Chain A
Amino acid sequence: MPRNRTGDRASEAPGAELAARTRNKNGRLRLLLTLPVLAFLASCSGSGPQSALEPKGPIARDIDGLWDLVYWLAVAVFIMVTALLVWAMWRYRERPGDETEPKQLHGSAAIELGGVVFSVVLLAIISVPTVRGLLDMRQVPEGDDVIQIQVTGHQWWWEFEYVDETGPDGATLITANELHIPEDATVYLTMTSADVIHSFWIPAVNGKRDVVPGQVTNLTIIADDPTSPDEPLPGQCAEFCGLAHADMRIKLHVHTDADYAAWLDEQFQPSQLPAEESELAAGWSTFNTVCTTCHQVSLEDVEGEVVTYGPERHIAAADIQFRSSFGPNLTHLFSRGTFGAGTVELTESHLAEWIGDPQSLKPMNPDENDLAAGRVLGMPDTGLNADEISEVIELLKTWR
């Protein structure tokens, strides 16, 4: 059972205990002995950014409130049962020299009935808020201000399509692994999977919801406050989905309304297609031969026309089409903080390592890729040499 629910409470208690102990005769010695233990416990006490116990939005907070109720009831029952057990173990232990035999009690209908009534009452106390909380949580949010985002789970990354709005080229916005939402907004996720079952989970804003191929599931998330760009709310896939399941993470960036609008504007701004004579042309040539096999980019050429390169894929679930591709959309790659589904910090050297040998940073299974059948299990070796890689990276750096 979690003893240190929050950092505050945990750090207060040992402090008080310490003060009391130093007054003891052997205070110093004890202090020396307990200090490492307490230091360790203190370091464990923080719940961490992916904790369900530190909700950052009203839905997760409701869940946490329900958890608190059940947790403390469970603690009470545990203490009661254990106290009875330990008391009975002590009181009725065999004592040396005692030759009497115990009374042969066979049972008591009253105690049985009492036990049943006791459990039923406790469970009734839990079940009412459970059902009510559940029905609340599963309500479909309504209203014009609800932000609709479609989520496609892939082995092993996330794809997000902002279906409410369209950019200058008339297309919706597609991005990967890093989800951006405004504070206090009700965001309604409509989700499916391109391959196997995944589960979308950002504990700070809601519980998890499975992402099932061929089916549509939904999840509402609401976040209270903007996050700093370096510290998005972390989440990750929670349903085992094969080799790199551990490396299928999500970062949730929460913005003020103004920042969110600015972010949307930036994302709708197409990146630039390098001019034919420019120093980026070689990188583009490599990119357009190799990378666009799987990755999409929307680029504006010198005449101002926006063209999307790379495969367009549609994943149908129920009667919804999810716009997708075989790999993450790279149009604004360098606007992200991470890549490899949130597992690798986005730096030039990491990217060079990744393009040179994708599996050095994340285990994948590209040998089993079968694009015709829609099966993609990771990024294959590109076969690019160091020069080509740095040319491609120079190009990617301009796509912010």
Chain B
Amino acid sequence: MTTTAEPQVFRSPGSRGLWAWVTTVDHKRIGLLYAVSAAVFFLIGGIEALLVRTQLFGPNLEVLSAEAYNQLFTMHGLTMVFLVVMPIAAAFTNYFLPIMIGARDVAFPRLNSFSYWLFFFGGLLIYSSFLLGGAPDGAWVGYAPLSTQLTEVVRMDFWTIGLALLGVSSLGASANFIATTFTMRAPGMSMLRMPVFAWMSLVVAFLLIFSLPSVTIGLFQLFLDRNFGALFYASAAGGDPLLWQHLFWIFGHPEVYVLILPAMGIVSEVLPTFARKPLFGYPFVVFSGAAIGFIGFGVWSHHMFTSGMGPIAEAGFGVATMIIAVPTGVKIFNWLGTIWGGKIKYNTPMLFSLAFIAMFVIGGLSGVTHAVVPSDTQQHDSYYVVAHFHYVLFGGAVFGYVSGIYYWFPKWTGRKLNEALGKVHFWLALIGFNLTFGPMHILGLNGMPRRTYRYPEGLGWANWNAVATIGAYVILLAFLVFAWNIVRTHFLAKGERVGNDPWDGRTLEWTTSSPPPVHNFDTIPVVHSLDDFWHQKYTEDDEGRAVRIPAVTEGALTVDEETGGGDESHEPDEDMHMPSPSFYPVVSAFGFAITGAGLIYLPWGFLGVGVGVAIAVWGLFGWSLEPVTKEH
């Protein structure tokens, strides 16, 4: 570890190697675990997408059977939403939320470990279905009664149980992030001095806390319908198939903001850094993010404009959906304001953030066209919708996260990703992305429905489908370059070594070493303003231009040195008790997963449930009884 010798950091000696990663409760290590898992699932979900695209290259191809196709597109959606974008957001939040607000760890480090491992085992459980007779094949939304139709086939049980486990994981993580944000901010770090990324993480945590219960209830009902004939969604018995859609989308729509808001947070960090200007309209960006979160709970039925709701309900949800475009537009104006008048440095993180804005504008505008209800009845469940949400979630969210990876890679590893490779990655990704998803707008408007494993000749869809498939392979190429860049920079150690503050950053993570010590800061920083670190380095002249404060040398300062001469001078903190590694969170997460696996194979699975519950209880007991820190 890179700790300096002066302050004493106490934590149990722990172990090395794999076991250290399994038992870690360090938020940074857990963040990296999320990131690596997300990368693996991104590869898998990407291969699924390529298979789907290959099948659609031309009319009536037989690359995949209908059965295989339906599993692959279901798993692609499930994977990209729950096993890629959510965990990569969790990776950034885990790693940087505590550092950005000047904390040493999250509020509940072992709960954090539990959340990760539950996500890990949940993902594993869902993917084990491929080896156990077939993956879920009812689309990621799992509409009843299709999802409750074939109860003898366990595929959709993998989906209900898997999602429920991932939901518990997200709830744990969200509670943790909220507690961390509210209780562990450094002195002076008032809410309106928090970086926008921290704010967006907070909003996301609240969104999850309030939306997950709805889908969890729905999932339990589906599970009961499938396994015990509970009839919640069986219309013949008076059940209501549309109830599932409401319960799902009350979660599903806020979920969209769960996926995009952290990326918006990242973009709001990257743009000011490389434009060398503060974020334009910080409070507006923050509150529009919160407003998106609130309004996001009132628009779910726009996913159901063709389901048979009354026209008044449809009109209401349509207008509410338009209203959400207002705070979203505010963000875009403010990002433009941020680069306006700046001094823009075009490196890879900045390019991805700028592309995020352009692509997100397209996705946002096509989103507004969905709010036009009559028009939406033509677009709904067509490839137009597929184009729309990929512009938001890939051109938007994924570009934002990739920008974040380039931006913070030096902080994780001490090395910068290669710029030349980064630019190749960027241009291939931008071109490939637009080739793939641009034509889908046209396909959808020309009547091609989504989730169809083949299409006939004569409908005019062949050429644009071919273009989209070629685009998908360009995206593959782009991300192979990205992967090589990471391998080369970090694993082959060929990347340029950089100091603590390679980008002349603005926020607290750049004050500590790269990678940060286990305790993040030798001294908990005292915060005086928004972008505190920047204001330690720069002041403004009469014209309002930034002027470097001469005494400070780039990259070398620590907060301690910086505040050394000031009024809040204090010695390095002594006796930092960092929480000890623990294997109980893994044990209890494993127990939950075994319980879930047992529930899939009822009635014999009750044995598995018994074993799983026993393991989980053991884990929870061990967890509650073990001391937080070892004696020293």
Which A residues are within 8 Å of any B CB, using their own CB?
1-4, 40, 43-44, 46-53, 60, 62-63, 66-67, 70-71, 74, 77-78, 81-82, 84-85, 88-89, 92-94, 98, 100-108, 111-112, 115-116, 118-120, 123, 126-127, 130-131, 133-135, 137-138, 195-197, 199, 201, 203, 206-210, 212-215, 217, 234-247, 317, 343, 363, 368, 375
Compute how far the CA of A245 lies from the CA of B139 in the bound complex, rounded to whole angstroms.
Answer: 12
A-B contact count, CB below 8 Å? 318
User: Across the interface, do B446 and A107 meet the contact criterion of CB distance under 8 Å?
Assistant: no
Given A199-B306, A208-B306, A343-B456; A63-B66 close (CB under 8 Å)? no
User: Across the interface, do B365 and A51 meet the contact criterion of CB distance under 8 Å?
Assistant: no
| In the assembled complex, B445 has its CB within 8 A of some CB on chain A | yes
List 29 contacting pairs A-B, 8 Å CB cutoff, sorted by A: A2-B441, A47-B445, A47-B460, A50-B448, A51-B460, A71-B369, A78-B362, A81-B361, A89-B354, A93-B346, A101-B343, A101-B546, A102-B343, A105-B280, A111-B337, A115-B330, A116-B326, A126-B372, A130-B374, A133-B372, A199-B306, A203-B378, A207-B375, A207-B378, A210-B306, A210-B307, A214-B238, A240-B146, A242-B138
| In the assembled complex, B256 has its CB within 8 A of some CB on chain A | no
| In the assembled complex, B65 has its CB within 8 A of some CB on chain A | yes
Which one, B143, B342, B379, B540, contacts A92 given CB within 8 A?
B342
Q: Min CB distance, B20 to chain A, in Å?
A: 42
User: Across the interface, do B332 and A81 meet the contact criterion of CB distance under 8 Å?
Assistant: yes
Which one, B314, B343, B346, B358, contacts A134 given CB within 8 A?
B314
Q: Which residues of B contact A119 (CB under 8 A)?
A: 325-326, 329-330
Nearest residue, chain B, Cβ from A214: B235
Compute how far the CA of A131 lies from the CA of B152 in the bound complex, rounded to whole angstroms.
Answer: 45
User: Across the interface, do A241 and B146 meet the contact criterion of CB distance under 8 Å?
Assistant: yes
Nearest residue, chain B, Cβ from A207: B377
User: Across the interface, do B368 and A130 meet the contact criterion of CB distance under 8 Å?
Assistant: no
Given A67-B375, A134-B314, A209-B306; A108-B545 close (CB under 8 Å)? no
Given A130-B371, A130-B374, A243-B70; A48-B345 close (CB under 8 Å)? no
Q: Which residues of B contact A196 (CB under 8 A)?
A: 143, 145-146, 149, 241
Compute how far the CA of A44 lies from the CA of B315 in the bound complex, rounded to whole angstroms.
Answer: 35
**Residue from B306, B336, B368, B381 whose CB has the most chain A CB atoms within 10 Å:** B306
Q: Min CB distance, B554 to chain A, in Å?
A: 14
In the complex, per-residue mask of B297-331: 1 if CB is within 8 Å of any chain A CB, else 0: 00000000011101100110011001101100110
User: Across the interface, do B346 and A213 meet the contact criterion of CB distance under 8 Å?
Assistant: no
Q: Which residues of B contact A238 (CB under 8 A)?
A: 306, 380-382, 449
Q: Min CB distance, B277 to chain A, in Å?
A: 5
Q: Which residues of B contact A133 (CB under 8 A)?
A: 372-374
Q: Give 8 new A-B contacts, CB below 8 A, not counting A50-B447, A103-B277, A126-B368.
A: A49-B458, A89-B339, A108-B280, A119-B325, A208-B380, A215-B241, A236-B449, A236-B452
Which one, A66, A123, A368, contacts B375 given CB within 8 A?
A66
Nearest residue, chain A, Cβ from B308: A217
Compute how far the CA of A126 lies from the CA of B451 in the bound complex, rounded to whole angstroms.
Answer: 30
| In the assembled complex, B454 has its CB within 8 A of some CB on chain A | yes
The 5 A-B pairs with the shortest beta carbon distances in the complex, nearest first, are: A214-B235, A207-B377, A48-B460, A50-B447, A246-B452
Compute how far the CA of A154 lies from the CA of B270 in the bound complex, rounded to whole angstroms.
Answer: 52
Q: Which residues of B contact A93 (CB under 8 A)?
A: 343-344, 346
User: Across the interface, do B366 and A107 meet the contact criterion of CB distance under 8 Å?
Assistant: no
Q: Min CB distance, B127 to chain A, in Å?
A: 21
Which one, A1, A60, A88, A237, contacts B339 given CB within 8 A?
A88
